[in-house]
Amino acid sequence: MNFRKIKTTAALMGFVLAFGLTGCRLTPEANVPVDETAPAEVTAAPEVSEQPDITYEPEATAWPGNEQADGKSVIMRCGDTEFMLYDFGQAFYSSQYLQYYMYGMVTPDQYCDMVIDELKGLMYMVAAAKDAGIELTQDEIDEIDSNIADYVEQVKVSYRDYVEEGVDDVEAAALAMLEEDLAQDGLDLDSFVVLAANNLRIHKIAEKYYETLQESVSVSDDDVRTYLDEKLETAPDESVSDFVADMNGYYEGSAPYPVYIVDDCFSVNHIYMGFESSTDDEGNIVYDTASRAEDEAEVEAKIEEAADYDAFMELETVYGEDPGMDSETYRENGYIIHGDLVNDYFAGFVYAAMNLHEGEWSVPVDGGASDEPAPAEPELAFFTLKDGTRVVKVCTESGVHYIIVNKEYKRGPVKYTVGDEIWESWRDAATETRMSDLYDTLSEEWRGQYSIDTDVFTIKAHYPPADDYYEDPDSK
């Protein structure tokens, strides 16, 4: 769908995530650096072994339901904490299970139950937080209010992009469209601000309580050793792809360092220059492989004059166009290469890197570990730096790469020193596991301690929204 406007039920989602007010594992996010050597964005459904468990058990509805409810209508209540239909909309569009719903892996009914279950978890935590005396400081309240005000201004500005050309008062027209969208949820601008601020305050209380729980959990060096021993029992059986995924997770801050290197491999950095492109009559992207000829000649002349690896990377800073190389993490560690990964990058990239590292290498008949056919073996050109370090040039579909070896990884248990960065990543993982166990235990206690009334009828009468909820100007 080509939406004309930002809808009020989803408008605050990115704002909540941006400020980290996710609380109790409700909406985990990971910021993943862009890798120009990686495949194009996946548009198919995510691969999962089974559908997520539905843990929600509907409770007796506390009120008869209301098909005419709006964003201000209360749909969940626990003590003095209430969630409005607006709050359900925020969770609906930011749930960790959203991808299952988007790809049709669960029914709308099941997905609503998942979101209800997530909100119940948040309500339980807020109830426990209030019983523990957790409150927001005035400074925290002021910060939330200030952030909401700033965000509303950003939303107003964004609506200007949808104002038709020739309108005299663009700002007034944009505000009118925003108010029209809000009206579809039974809101005006003032009520939207109040609901948004209340939503963030609830999340902030849960976040503060979760932090107190984290402070109560300690993990000793012996606990880390136990974690390491347990992981080492199964780690050698993982695939190279699993190892690379674990390494990337560590680089991106979402996973601990792997405990075992499953096979010898290495990493590379590169100078990447993209070909100029156009679109043909059928909408296909066509790359002009001759478009960077002058740049290639200039870079190659300088590569042959480069003294060493560091000098090569200085050239990358000047000529390189891979955003991944702008990331300190990937610039330092490079992209991991192994023969089994031949189909995990642009065709020809791994082939070139393997030939650079091994001296001579051909794509396996089966194309590596993947079921995809082996890519064609492209033409390679080699260069040598002043200190003898070799560089390989290869052209993939989208551009030209000058590849240099960065690091070596040898099969076996990862080497570490107690207290170093790797060790502490394992401590964090062990702490997270202990926190998860504590949270599960407390959740069971909260379910027996607190009662949550849920207006399931009203929720499911409004979510998911009707197909015509979003307005598409191209359909007019």
- Digit-coded pLDDT (tens) for 338-362: 999 998 998 899 999 999 999 999 8
Q: Report which of residues 20 and 398 the model is more confident about.
A: 398
Distance CA 123, CA 128 (A): 9
Q: Quick one: pLDDT at residue 66? A: 77
- Digit-coded pLDDT (tens) for 249-266: 999 888 999 999 999 999
Q: Quick one: pLDDT at residue 364? A: 78
Per-residue pLDDT, averaged over 31-39, amounts to 36
Does the pLDDT of residue 211 top 90, yes or no?
yes
pLDDT-wise least confident of 207-216, 349-358, 369-378, 422-431: 369-378
Q: Quick one: pLDDT at residue 155? A: 87
Does the pLDDT of residue 31 top 50, yes or no?
no
Does the pLDDT of residue 206 top 70, yes or no?
yes
Distance CA 73, CA 65 (A): 10
Measured CA to CA in angstroms, residue 444 lies from 127, 378, 390, 450 at distances of 14, 59, 60, 10
pLDDT-wise least confident of 31-45, 107-121, 271-285, 331-345: 31-45
Measured CA to CA in angstroms, residue 468 lies from 175, 184, 475 at distances of 22, 11, 11
pLDDT band at 373 (very low <50, low <70, confident <90, very high): low
Nearest to 238 by CA among 212, 209, 261: 261
- Digit-coded pLDDT (tens) for 67-77: 788 899 999 99
Does the pLDDT of residue 79 top 80, yes or no?
yes
Q: Report which of residues 323 and 283 the model is more confident about.
A: 323
**What is the chain's mean pLDDT, rounded?**
84
Does the pLDDT of residue 63 top 50, yes or no?
yes
pLDDT-wise least confident of 212-216, 220-224, 358-362, 472-476: 472-476
Per-residue pLDDT, averaged over 117-139, amounts to 95
pTM of the predicted model as reported, rounded to 2 decimal places = 0.68
Does the pLDDT of residue 49 top 80, yes or no?
no
Per-residue pLDDT, averaged over 418-430, amounts to 96
pLDDT-wise least confident of 32-46, 173-187, 364-378, 392-406: 32-46
pLDDT band at 377 (very low <50, low <70, confident <90, very high): confident
Does the pLDDT of residue 42 top 80, yes or no?
no
pLDDT-wise least confident of 30-34, 52-56, 145-149, 295-299: 30-34
Does the pLDDT of residue 163 top 50, yes or no?
yes
Question: CA-based angle 65:69:72, to the nearest 5?
Answer: 120
Whether the link from the prior residue into 64 is cis, omega within 30° of 0, is no
Q: Quick one: pLDDT at residue 33? A: 31
Token pair of 133, please? 């005396």
- Digit-coded pLDDT (tens) for 183-203: 988 899 999 999 999 999 999
Q: Quick one: pLDDT at residue 23? A: 30
Q: Quick one: pLDDT at residue 41? A: 36
Distance CA 172, CA 33 (A): 38
pLDDT band at 365 (very low <50, low <70, confident <90, very high): low
Highest mean pLDDT among 8-22, 59-73, 384-398, 448-462: 384-398
pLDDT-wise least confident of 120-134, 165-179, 216-230: 165-179
Per-residue pLDDT, averaged over 376-382, amounts to 89
Residue labelled with tokens 């902030």: 204
Does the pLDDT of residue 12 top 80, yes or no?
no
Does the pLDDT of residue 125 top 80, yes or no?
yes
Q: Quick one: pLDDT at residue 372? A: 58
Does the pLDDT of residue 449 top 70, yes or no?
yes
pLDDT band at 62 (very low <50, low <70, confident <90, very high): low
Q: Quick one: pLDDT at residue 374? A: 55
